[in-house]
Amino acid sequence: MRPATLEFLKQRFAEYYRTCYLSPPSSLEQREWGFIFLDASTDVRMRRHMAFSDQRELVDYVRNMVPAHVYYSSAYYRTPAAPTMNDKGWCGADLIFDLDADHIMRGPYAAMLARVKEEAEKLIGMLTDELGFSRRDLSVVFSGGRGYHVHVREIAVRGWSSQERREIVDYVRGTGIDPAVMLAPAGGTPPAGWRRRYLDALREHLMWLRGLERDEAKAHISVLKGVGEKSAANFLDSLDRFIADLRAYRTDDIWRDRTVRAIAAAEIEFENRVRDLGARADEPVTTDIKRLIRMPGSLHGGSGMRVVPLGAGDLAAFDPLVDAVVFGERDVKVEMKAEMTTSLCGNTYALKKGITTVPEALAVFVCCRNVAEIAGEAADGS
């Protein structure tokens, strides 16, 4: 990163931190803090094992040091500034789910943000409707980059081990589903949660098979273990009945069919359907009881956007490419390293390689993403 670009970003970040309100997490004095600073070096180094006694001390540090990234521990410690993890004295940790668009799809930034927002809404629904958490105990945070963090602040979960946290993330992801349990006769009980999702996915899959040419469908399923051509033919003859049963959530006859069991056990397309119904939360983040997570209200050094805290009910109306943008519209001259099309503040920009003039908010964004430099020597963009 050129000196002019580095100075431009430092000035913009410093301006933001001079006037913004930074709301620290609960029990601030029990949290470990970590910072990454704006630096021309390509080596990313974090300054961590830090602690603050109160909000004023934290805010003064951020305003004086102007970090690119601000993190705090999901864990509560007796001595958070201790230099080793063993010496800190773990007292519990918030339960946090991380949803990152990079783990879900590739594509234009706006499309990735829209997709990961869907996953966040799906996760919130599972946590509240199926796992019994109250929306009052959930907070959603746009990471400022490519995803969302969902924090569960219920005191009862703070003492959970990594294994207990793994069980809950396995549930929301749909990991380890037993087809025999999903397809077992329900005795007239309306299905809910994963059982309902699973049966819906199977019905959609059978409808997809019915839409194929018969020879194509037969070839598709006859390669499954334990399914020969005769079994495949019999199965295809029964498709309409199976689909009708699944629409009514009747499974008494379905599990007895050899081909259905083979599809449930090893059919890749069906596995993908089921996986898509889960929430794509990052398992290592949820199971890590000593994780550092981004501080709401801080800036993301890879985008220049704000890490935005939201209520669980505010997510639907939130547009990160508008609501997380904190910089203005004054003209700034940048030199693009390559062509790029991106959206910001309700506008779409088709940027070509070379020198161009863009709004300040976009200049911060492309410089933080290292796809542009400030043109010339003036850090103020003049």
In a 3-state reduction of DSSP, which class is residue 83? coil
- Cα–Cα distance list, 346 to 173, 318, 329, 372 (Å): 33, 13, 13, 21
CA distance 137 to 152: 6
Which of 208, 180, 206, 211 has its CA nearest to residue 195? 180
For residue 90, the surrounding DSSP H or E stretch is strand 90-93
8 A C-beta contact, residue 89 and residue 71: no
- Cα–Cα distance list, 287 to 96, 282, 380 (Å): 9, 9, 44
For residue 180, the surrounding DSSP H or E stretch is helix 179-183
Q: What is the DSSP letter of 142?
A: E
CA distance 312 to 125: 10
User: φ and ψ at 381, to 5 degrees?
Assistant: 80, 5
Catalytic residue among 94, 245, 282, 288: 282
98 belongs to the catalytic site: yes
Written as six digits, the tokens of 152 are 């569960």
314 belongs to the catalytic site: no
8 A C-beta contact, residue 98 and residue 149: yes
8 A C-beta contact, residue 334 and residue 313: no
Q: Which amino acid is at 219?
A: A
- Report the Cα–Cα distance between both ends of the chain, in Å, rounded: 19
CA distance 127 to 137: 10
CA distance 59 to 51: 12
Catalytic residue among 94, 98, 245, 288: 98
Q: Name the CA radius of gyration of the chain, rounded.
A: 25
Catalytic residue among 94, 100, 245, 288: 100
245 belongs to the catalytic site: no
Catalytic residues: 98, 100, 282
